[in-house]
């Protein structure tokens, strides 16, 4: 099955204390702290690692950023797949092994990529029975009350590049990622072969080669909005507020992260498998279905099934 999801991301930051405070407020669990870094854990066994610039063995920064995520480590669930992926990568670039279960290399954008033999823990958000006119799922039963959000897993990471399609091609051709959807004049949504998340990685077309955001999956909309309110009470404000993407259906709430880029609370994202047929979406039409702030003009509706030519990511 090979790559199953995000195992860790590594930020480089000059302000560890701000990073600690933000990620604790976000709902992550601090498991280790030292002068050079802080490790946070999520319930699926993944990690968010904050490091200072002076930490040993830090990967080089991406071309156009001085902070933000500098390395993504992907979980690979069997030894044979790890060996096969590494052998395929080693054809045209160095692959550095740490023992027999972990290796690192750079993708075509210069981002440090790590593969590690690991099993992400299965997680299961609590059920969310919801009443609606004429449909009763909750009778004589209070809703669960949420005080804040607890991220359960990292659902996706996003990087930008002027050559987003070329960057995506590397992950499809060399690491087995699937194309979920394509945004015209935008980017490419990619799903790890062992994941059902609509996307685990999005390469967004932009002038800068840089980290953009990481998505944290939370249980439901109540959890998301309780988390948003909790963060707002602690001085963290979202520029866009609550919205729903048309591509992937995700409820989103982005917040600026002092360690770089945004952190996103996400819930109710589409789940896909290999039966999914990718679409090509108009850039603006696919981006946002609705947004708390509203928008002055609805975008032209543009969406079509992807062709073989589209999927070559030319």
Residues that bind Fe ion (CB under 5 A): 215, 264
Q: How far is the CB of 261 from Fe ion (least distance, A)?
A: 11
Would you say 86 or 154 has its CB closer to Fe ion?
154
Would you say 213 or 279 has its CB closer to Fe ion?
213
Sequence-ordered alpha helix ranges (H) in the chain: 16-26, 79-89, 164-175, 221-233, 283-287, 308-311
Cα–Cα distance for residue pair 169/190, rounded to 1 Å: 10
88-100: string of b/e by CB count within 10 Å (b at 16+)?
ebeeeeebeeeee
Helix (H, G, I), strand (E, B) or coil at 263: strand
CB 171 within 8 A of CB 6: no
Would you say 44 or 264 has its CB closer to Fe ion?
264
Would you say 36 or 287 has its CB closer to Fe ion?
287
All residues at 6 or more sequence positions from 13 whose CB lies less than 8 Å from its CB, including other chains: 19, 50, 51, 52, 67, 258, 259, 260
Q: How far is the CB of 259 from Fe ion (least distance, A)?
A: 17
Would you say 67 or 215 has its CB closer to Fe ion?
215
Q: How far is the CB of 177 from Fe ion (least distance, A)?
A: 16
Q: Nearest residue to Fe ion, using CB?
A: 215
Q: How far is the CB of 184 from Fe ion (least distance, A)?
A: 18
Q: How far is the CB of 154 from Fe ion (least distance, A)?
A: 11
Cα–Cα distance for residue pair 168/131, rounded to 1 Å: 41
Cα–Cα distance for residue pair 23/9, rounded to 1 Å: 13
């Amino acid at each position: 099955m090979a790559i199953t999801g995000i195992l860790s991301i590594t930020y480089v930051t000059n302000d560890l204390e701000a990073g600690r405070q933000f990620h604790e407020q976000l709902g992550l669990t601090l498991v280790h702290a030292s002068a050079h870094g802080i490790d946070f854990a999520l319930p699926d066994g993944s990690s968010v690692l904050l490091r200072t610039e002076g930490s040993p063995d830090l990967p080089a920064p991406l071309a156009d950023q001085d902070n933000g995520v500098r390395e993504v480590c992907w979980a690979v669930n069997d030894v044979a797949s790890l060996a096969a992926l590494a052998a395929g990568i080693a054809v045209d670039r160095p692959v550095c092994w740490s023992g027999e279960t972990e290796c690192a290399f750079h993708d075509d954008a210069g981002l440090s990529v790590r593969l590690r033999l690991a099993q992400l823990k299965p997680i299961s958000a609590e059920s969310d029975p919801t009443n609606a006119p004429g449909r009763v799922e909750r009778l004589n039963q209070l809703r669960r009350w949420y005080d804040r959000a607890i991220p359960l897993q990292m659902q996706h990471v996003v990087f930008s590049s002027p050559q987003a399609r070329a960057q995506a091609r590397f992950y499809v051709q060399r690491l087995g990622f699937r194309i979920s959807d394509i945004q015209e004049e935008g980017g490419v949504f990619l799903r790890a072969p062992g994941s059902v998340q609509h996307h685990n990685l999005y390469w967004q077309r932009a002038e800068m080669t840089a980290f953009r955001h990481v998505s944290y999956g939370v249980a439901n909309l109540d959890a998301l909005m309780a988390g948003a309110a909790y963060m707002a009470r602690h001085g963290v404000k979202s520029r866009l507020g609550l919205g729903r993407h048309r591509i992937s259906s995700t409820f989103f709430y982005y917040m600026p992260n002092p360690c770089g880029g945004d952190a996103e609370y996400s819930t109710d994202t589409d789940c896909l498998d290999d039966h999914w047929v990718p679409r090509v979406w108009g850039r603006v039409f696919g981006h946002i279905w609705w947004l708390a702030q509203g928008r002055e003009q609805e975008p032209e509706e543009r969406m079509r099934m992807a062709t073989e030519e589209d999927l070559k990511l030319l």
